[in-house]
Amino acid sequence: MTLLDDLFRENILDHSQHPRYRGLLDPADIDHEVNNPLCGDWLHLTLCIDADERIAAVGWDGDGCAISQASASMLGEILLGMSVEEARTLTKEMVFDLIGIALTPNRMKCALLSLEAVKVGLHGRGA
């Protein structure tokens, strides 16, 4: 393990223990819940979209492993201020880059739960 791996692991622990944007928004323009039945992780994502179609507020709640919770927190940080169109272009590789360490296939699903909530939640909103 390298020093860089250690730093990424510390970042994951920080985000899972001190999550950013935790707490659901009410009212919310986007409200979507996803789960991973294989491991029991779940995530409820809420977003407020402003008149310029930018993400003005992010809120989420969930339960699961450190990777799924940290991923939701990290993704919340980059979503805030992003346009709906930009959010639609987020990829799994971008999420993996946020996490920063190699993940097993099972952990990849945990990391991508928040991205799934964003993509499905935004589906059908304008185009």
For the chain, domain boundaries: 3-121
CATH of domain 3-121: 3.90.1010.10
What band does 1 get if pLDDT is binned at 50, 70 and 90? low
pTM greater than the 0.75 cutoff: yes
Beta-carbon neighbour count of residue 116 at 10 Å?
18
Cβ atoms of residues 121 and 30 within 8 Å: yes
Is residue 14 pLDDT above 90, yes or no? no
Mean pLDDT of 89-102: 92
- What angle, 0 to 180 degrees and rounded to 10, lies between the N-to-C axes of helices 105-122 and 92-99? 130
Distance from C-alpha of 76 to C-alpha of 60, rounded to nearest angstrom: 8
